[in-house]
């Protein structure tokens, strides 16, 4: 099969020919129709995950997938050949990821059925970013009536988080560069979102909107210390990038986002996409043979999600 591979890390992704994986006990083999590029994948290519996860070479990157079940391993229940599915490759090691024509994934976590009304392309870009946004907001506590600052709102996680937070009744402040980036964020939801320019004085802009500080921060980009200082005493801070420092004197609730792509979470997100309540903001598409270009585009700062379609 054709797959994106890395001979080493740090390394350069290439498209090569590799063996089709066989589903082990408890796994499902998926014929992949779509995937997407995430920050996790760039971290893999750069070698940042060495020492954190086992690497098996040649290494196929990719966490997101959407496609159809091709085969099921021993002991798998609930999935059958031909089922339309999507999700996140949740294996404990790196090496046989989803940027390929086939991927074998655990049936117990990270996979759910793709409902009617959800495009394959969108499903292939939903899993990891959607789960990170969903789980990250859950760490902030009840959102209705609260003021939430989302830094990095133009990325895949941020774009979904803005929509979910607004739908839950939060007053959302989102960071984006003025111009097309700001317009992208404003168009994510019909709810009112206040967009501030992260290239300008973030503290002054937030204080003008919330003089007493925001209730919660979802940190996906930017200076965590500055954003934490903008959180009111007793507020909450969740970061996708690092472990926020505890602040006992200010009684802040702090946590690092650790995504858990359960079937329930994936199904909830997909149901919202199917109903039109949630958009997967795919702004660029590359076929599998051009996947190295997709990595370059992501690194250059493309807003929203970059999809990879698989023939």
pLDDT by residue (tens digit) across 35-71? 999 999 999 999 999 999 999 999 999 999 999 999 9
Q: What is the pLDDT of residue 244?
A: 86
Q: What is the pLDDT of residue 247?
A: 74
Backbone φ, ψ for residue 263 (5° rounding): -60, -35
| DSSP-based three-state secondary structure for 137 | helix
Q: What is the pLDDT of residue 246?
A: 75
What the block records as the tokens of 42 is 């760039």
Q: Which of 118, 28, 87, 34 is nearest to 263 (CA)?
A: 87
pLDDT tens across 132-158, in order?
A: 999 999 999 999 999 999 999 999 999
What secondary structure letter does DSSP report for 289?
G
Count other Cβ atoms within 10 Å, centred on residue 153. Answer: 32
What the block records as the tokens of 93 is 């090691």
Q: What is the pLDDT of residue 243?
A: 85
Q: What is the pLDDT of residue 138?
A: 98
What the block records as the tokens of 285 is 């598409």
Rounded to whole angstroms, how far apart are CA atoms 50 and 262? 25
Whether residue 124 contacts residue 33, with contact meaning beta carbons closer than 8 Å, is answered with yes
Q: Which of 80, 86, 84 is nearest to 68 (CA)?
A: 84
pLDDT tens across 222-234, in order?
A: 999 999 999 999 9
What residues in the chain have per-residue pLDDT under 50?
none
Strands 27-37 and 102-106, sheet pairing: antiparallel
Strands 253-256 and 231-239, sheet pairing: parallel
270 contacts: CB under 8 Å, gap ≥ 6: 86, 112, 114, 115, 118, 123, 126
- pTM over cut 0.85: yes
Helices (DSSP H) in 168-302: which residue ranges? 180-186, 202-209, 224-229, 263-275, 291-299
Rounded to whole angstroms, how far apart are CA atoms 135 and 73? 29
What the block records as the tokens of 131 is 């789960």
């Amino acid at each position: 099969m054709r797959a994106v591979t890395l001979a080493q890390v740090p390394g350069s992704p290439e498209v090569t020919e590799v063996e089709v994986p066989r589903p082990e006990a408890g796994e499902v083999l998926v014929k992949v129709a779509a995937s997407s590029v995430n920050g996790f994948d760039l971290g893999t290519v750069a070698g940042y995950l060495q020492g954190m996860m086992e690497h098996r070479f040649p290494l196929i990157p990719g966490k997101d997938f959407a496609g159809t079940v091709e085969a099921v391993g021993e002991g798998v229940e609930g999935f059958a050949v031909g089922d339309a599915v999507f999700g996140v490759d949740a294996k404990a090691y790196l090496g046989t990821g989803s940027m390929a024509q086939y991927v074998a994934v655990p049936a117990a976590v990270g996979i759910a059925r793709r409902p009617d009304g959800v495009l394959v392309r969108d499903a292939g870009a939903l899993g990891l970013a959607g789960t990170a946004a969903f789980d990250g907001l859950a760490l902030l506590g009840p959102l209705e009536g609260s003021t939430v600052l989302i830094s990095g709102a133009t990325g895949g996680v941020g774009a979904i988080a803005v929509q979910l937070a607004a739908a839950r009744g939060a007053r959302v402040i989102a960071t984006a560069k003025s111009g097309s980036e700001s317009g992208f964020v404003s168009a994510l939801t019909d709810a009112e979102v206040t967009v501030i320019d992260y290239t300008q004085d973030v503290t002054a802009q937030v204080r003008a909107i919330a003089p007493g500080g925001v209730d919660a921060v979802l940190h996906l980009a930017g200076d965590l210390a500055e954003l934490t200082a903008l959180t009111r005493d007793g507020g909450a801070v969740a970061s996708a990038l690092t472990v926020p420092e505890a602040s006992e004197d200010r009684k802040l609730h702090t946590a690092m986002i650790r995504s858990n792509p359960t079937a329930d979470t994936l199904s909830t997100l997909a149901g919202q996409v199917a109903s039109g309540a949630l958009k997967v903001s795919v702004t660029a598409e590359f076929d599998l043979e051009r996947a190295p270009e997709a990595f370059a585009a992501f690194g250059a700062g493309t807003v929203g999600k970059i999809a990879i379609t698989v023939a």
